[in-house]
Amino acid sequence: MQALILAGGASSRFWPVNGYHKCLMKIMGRPMILSLIEGLKEKGIKEVLIVQGPEKEIEKELNNHNIDLPLKYIVQLSPKGTGDAILKAEKLLQDQLFVFNAERVDARDNIDLVLKKLKDKEDLVVLAGETKTPWLYGILKTEGEKMIDLVEKPEKGKEPSNLKLVGTYLIPKKFLDYLKRVPQDDYSLIHALLLYAKEKGVKVADVGKETFALKYPWDLFPIRNYIFDNFLKEKVSKSAKVAKSAIIEGKVFIGDGVEIMEGVKIKGPCFIGKNCFLGNNALVRDYSDLEEESLVGGFAEVTRSLFQERVFTHSGYFGDSIVGKGCYIGAGVITANIRLDKKGIKTIVKDKEILTGFKKLGAVIGKKTKIGINASLMPGVLIGSNCTIGPHSIVLGNIGDNITFYSKAESVIEKK
């Protein structure tokens, strides 16, 4: 059987870490999409088709990895939605096809559940899971195991159920005829599913629990937890240098060339990528992921945070935060991750206020941003790429890409 991975979207809601497709974010030293592909191979998928954008960034990244499974790439020139992406693959499709959103690293857990619903070559099966925020997703109305309605982002209080589309589908090739019959827009897949449900019937495979999605940057955290819980291996590389006074507890991976200084404590699960450096008395704990060549300075604390490659920090606190490639963060920087009133953390995405669903959420920082000493970042702030945040600045709201921000004025010398 074939699988089609949808990785051609613009990832616009993923700002400020959307300089490339979101499925290429590194977790445990590898792009997320690789965990999905390996899971498909494990379940017997024989060929994987990948829809990507015109930059071909997925193909370029995966060419750096040894993958023992045939891959074929399809280019979607503009992000016109999942329906259009499926149609782009038409010439390569066989009779029956799995379709996955690119973040579905848990595909291996649900393939059998979907296949149990398959009784006929024209059966179409959608995977569903529970959600506490139905207004953010496509929500199903069901009757037994059949889908009878599907509402995209229903108004709060008017959702037909708490079952959302998960981003896993088993479709017959005949379904493409239905995609061609509906309006070609961002919601063409929804229109075609409704049409197929009316004329042929759509079956629902319910996983019976809440499942992760990947719309916003903070959605990376439950995905990271899943990858850590299922794939993290306890290891200390022979080429790593670990001081005798360092303490390592729990499941921790320490890669090649890592240097860990005196007094460091690591409380797993944690991943320390190759050539990272941890300064004296640093604390790294609880699902923290440091990608290769990152540096955590002396006395710093990193907890439940995700650092992409070559992030340099000095002393400070980094809680429940995501930091993009190549950021430089000065001494004493604090990412506040809890509101004083303990309420859920909100932020602004595409000019709309979003309730993140987290009571602990630090900062999300784009690539190559520099932050001066003793800056304070409030809970849930988003800071763009290539920014400069001045020393002692207090960041209360989002800061766009390529911005220089000082919350206190510098000295001004009057010109004569």
pLDDT tens profile 342-363: 999 999 998 889 899 999 999 9
Interval 118-152: pLDDT, tens = 998 889 999 999 998 898 899 999 999 999 999 99
CATH 2.160.10.10 fits 228-405, yes or no: yes
Q: 12 or 377: which carries more pLDDT confidence?
A: 377
Q: Is the pLDDT of residue 202 over 50?
A: yes
pLDDT band at 416 (very low <50, low <70, confident <90, very high): very low
Q: Is the pLDDT of residue 183 over 50?
A: yes
CA dihedral 305, 309, 313, 316 (to 10 degrees): 0
What are the start and end residues of each CATH 2.160.10.10 domain in the chain? 228-405
pLDDT for the residue 78 = 85
Name beta bridge partners: 150: 140
Q: Is the pLDDT of residue 411 over 70?
A: no
pLDDT for the residue 350 = 86
pLDDT band at 413 (very low <50, low <70, confident <90, very high): low
- Residue range 221-250: mean pLDDT, rounded: 97
What spatial distance separates the first Cα and last Cα of the chain, rounded to whole Å? 78
Interval 250-308: pLDDT, tens = 999 999 999 999 999 999 999 999 999 999 999 999 999 999 999 999 999 999 999 99
What are the start and end residues of each CATH 3.90.550.10 domain in the chain? 2-216
Which CATH code is given to the segment(s) 2-216? 3.90.550.10
pLDDT band at 9 (very low <50, low <70, confident <90, very high): confident
Task: Name 157's Cβ contacts closer than 8 Å, sequence gap at least 6.
Answer: none
Q: Is the pLDDT of residue 102 over 60?
A: yes
